[in-house]
Amino acid sequence: MIVNTRPKEIGEKTNSLLKELKCNFIHIPLTEIKKLEPPAAAKILLDKLGNYDAVIFTSQSAVKFGIKFFQEKFESSKHIPVISIGIATQSCLYELGISSDVPQTFNSEGISNLIKKRTFRKCLVFCGDKPPQLTSMTDAEIDIFPCYKSKDKKNVDFERIKKLDRSVILIYTHQSLEILVKNLTTYEMEKIILICASERILKLALNYSFEDCVLAETPLDRDILDAAMKMIN
């Protein structure tokens, strides 16, 4: 049994792919995405959008909840490069008529390398309420525009996972991994195969004593599910 833990807001795409692959799966969101009203100080940054070398979107949620603020100012600053952390985020922007580049690796390190390669000195990042890792990975000046919050989902039915003899669980974020650890015993963790979306999540999972952890080739749904299919076949 495959367990999709993505929040409802973005998990339906994963569910659709699982159905296409005729997988036996359940969707148990461990987090939920909530709109966050950006602080006044962040909104002021948009008035000086032309001062930035690039604008960065760190997730699909950053696009969903931050795009209206960006679009209001983008018309007068269309020369500014836009960077997406990955293909899914890039696709969200493309649907809105905004072209963006993606780094070679779909993570903060990849964005950091792209910033260095293009010698960007100052960037504005649309993100969640927690500052992205990027802020500590580059010498460039990074300003953030928080526009959403990822919250632990309440009343999660963990018994649906616990009663499974064997499960393959898709983990996309550190936050989801922490929630899983808090609600499972060591014995229950031993029955799980974790499909990890990043090397960072993989390392954390091993530290938490998960024994069967698999690193997907990339965080893309197709690669996550490809790794999961190999574990159940």
| Mean pLDDT across 206-213 | 90
Pairing of strands 141-152, 31-35: antiparallel
| Same domain, residue pair 98 and 66 | yes
SS3 208: coil
Number of domains comprising the chain: 2
Pairing of strands 2-4, 122-128: unpaired
| Same domain, residue pair 44 and 146 | yes
d(CA 114, CA 154): 38
The model's pTM is 0.89
CB 221 within 8 A of CB 107: no
pLDDT at 72: 84
The pLDDT-based confidence of 209 (bands split at 50, 70, 90) is confident
List the CATH number of the domain containing 49: 3.40.50.10090
pLDDT at 96: 93
* pLDDT per residue as tens digits for the range 149-198: 999 999 999 999 999 988 999 999 999 999 999 999 988 998 899 999 99
| Same domain, residue pair 162 and 206 | yes
| Same domain, residue pair 202 and 94 | no
Among 88, 122, 151, which residue terminates a domain? Answer: 151
Q: Average pLDDT, whole number, for the chain?
A: 93
CB 175 within 8 A of CB 59: no
Q: What are the structure tokens assigned to 32, written together?
A: 């939920």
Among 151, 173, 193, which residue terminates a domain? Answer: 151
| Same domain, residue pair 147 and 158 | no
| Same domain, residue pair 92 and 43 | yes
31-35 β-sheet, strand order = 31-35, 141-152, 122-128, 54-57, 82-84
- Measured from the Cβ of residue 34, the count of other Cβ atoms closer than 10 Å reads 15
CB 29 within 8 A of CB 153: yes
d(CA 108, CA 84): 10
* pLDDT per residue as tens digits for the range 21-71: 999 999 999 999 999 999 999 999 998 898 999 999 999 999 999 999 998
pLDDT at 79: 82
| Mean pLDDT across 126-150 | 95
| Same domain, residue pair 87 and 63 | yes
Q: What are the structure tokens assigned to 208, written together?
A: 């938490």
Say yes or no to pLDDT of 135 above 80.
yes
| Same domain, residue pair 144 and 175 | no
| Same domain, residue pair 145 and 52 | yes
| Same domain, residue pair 86 and 184 | no
Among 132, 151, 170, which residue terminates a domain? Answer: 151
d(CA 37, CA 173): 23
Question: How far is Cα of residue 181 from the mean position of the Cα atoms in its chain?
Answer: 19
Say yes or no to pLDDT of 74 above 80.
no
Say yes or no to pLDDT of 76 above 70.
no
Say yes or no to pLDDT of 77 above 90.
no
| Same domain, residue pair 25 and 39 | no
Domain enclosing residue 177, as ranges:
2-30+154-232
Q: What are the structure tokens assigned to 112, written together?
A: 């950091």
